[in-house]
Amino acid sequence: MRVHNFSAGPAAMPLDVLEQAASEMSDWGSSGMSVMEVSHRSKEFVAAAEEAEALLRELLAVPDDYRVLFLQGGATGQFAGIPLNLSAEGDTVDYVNTGAWSKKAIAEAKKYATVNVVADESASNYSTTPDPAAVRPSQGSAYLHYTPNETIGGVEFGYVPDTGDVPLVADMSSTILSRPIEVSKFGLIYGGAQKNMGPAGLCLVVVRDDLVGRARPQTPSVWDYRAMAEAGSMLNTPPTFGIYLLGLILRWLKGQGGLAAMGERNRAKAEKLYAAIDGSPFYRNPVSPDARSWMNVPFILADDSLDKTFLAQAAEAGLTNLAGHRSVGGMRASIYNAMPMEGVDALIDFMKEFERANG
Ligand code: PMP
């Protein structure tokens, strides 16, 4: 029996996608082989990668002057790849600090550039996003980086910062494909695949043409955007299974009505879960209502001595991976695209029942 998996990532995938992958696992497209066993340069695999890119462009409405790159090294690799590609030695780069993932991006960027933190939400213990007026790039900045959705804190921007001519760079690891976005507002969008895009091992970069071709000479070739763009992301062996599975997920997303329909579903799921948390003195979400994530919903129990019992009984009820990140404790329900409303309903029912028994 499949559980409702609330993991923050690697995260639940649509059952239809898993079943299709299973059905063609040993014989993909009548090749007599699995997709993992074919050459990445075969015309069949190249066609699958091209279809994945075309679907991604269609669903995200990626303008023609952006490159789509399928890389490795995760979003963490791009914490270095971004300053190496978009800034020169000695440049200043701007970062917004809204929590754990921002901090990691900042620490890595400091190895390569002078980091200016333009807004820092530590005073609210990272339960807020900055006032839009505060997110202004500094003079001569090479780019401004922010984390639209903080996976651990459950803090999400309700707006896209306006940085004028300074390229806006967004770590969309835990929010990409959750709703429509206007790609033209960004210079670069990136994210690890393992939440809304497939298995771990694939990292997506969508980058505007004018930002391609500026990599510092010491940039590893596999993260040099121009080298990768010119090679169709196949400078070396790409993560073939991840690209194939991304294609299946994008087909599924299109069948679900695309990102507008998915966004409405995600909004409804999140609203219902926050309403259940806010409606009870037994549970609490610490995030400011205007900054609450649709994807990652942290909550704490009024009595934290019940945490272990809550998690154990939830798992018994088929609701798994609800423990908050090890750095913060409490609970966290990650409700990405593949989590149906029934999963959220089952969690809310369980929470009410647990409160009745222990409140
Ligand atoms: N940024 C965010 C917002 C994340 O949630 C994660 C992973 N949880 C990362 C970066 C790091 O991604 P990866 O593990 O792919 O390097």
Architecture of the domain whose range is 26-256: 3-Layer(aba) Sandwich (3.40)
Q: What is the pTM of this model?
A: 0.98
Numbered residues of the known binding site: 41, 75-76, 101, 151, 171, 194, 236-237
CA torsion through residues 8, 274, 169, 139, sign: negative
Question: Which residues form the catalytic set?
Answer: 101, 171, 195
Break the chain into its structural domains and give their ranges.
26-256, 258-358
Among 71, 97, 98, 101, which is best to mutate for testing ligand 1, by the most ligand atoms less than 8 A from CB?
101
Annotate 256-317 with DSSP letters as a single string. Answer: TTHHHHHHHHHHHHHHHHHHHHHT-TTEE--S-GGGB-SSEEEEEESSGGGHHHHHHHHHHT
Query: What pLDDT, in 10s, does the model give residues 17-29?
Result: 999 999 999 999 9
User: Complex ipTM above 0.85?
Assistant: yes
Architecture of the domain whose range is 258-358: Alpha-Beta Complex (3.90)
Q: Is the pLDDT of residue 327 over 90?
A: no
What tokens does 132 get? 């839009």
Find the 195 Cα to ligand 1 centroid distance in Å.
Answer: 9
Closest CA to 81 of 102, 52, 111, 53: 111
How confident is the model at residue 77, as a pLDDT? 98
Q: Is the pLDDT of residue 359 over 90?
A: no
Among 98, 129, 173, which is best to mutate for testing ligand 1, by the most ligand atoms less than 8 A from CB?
173
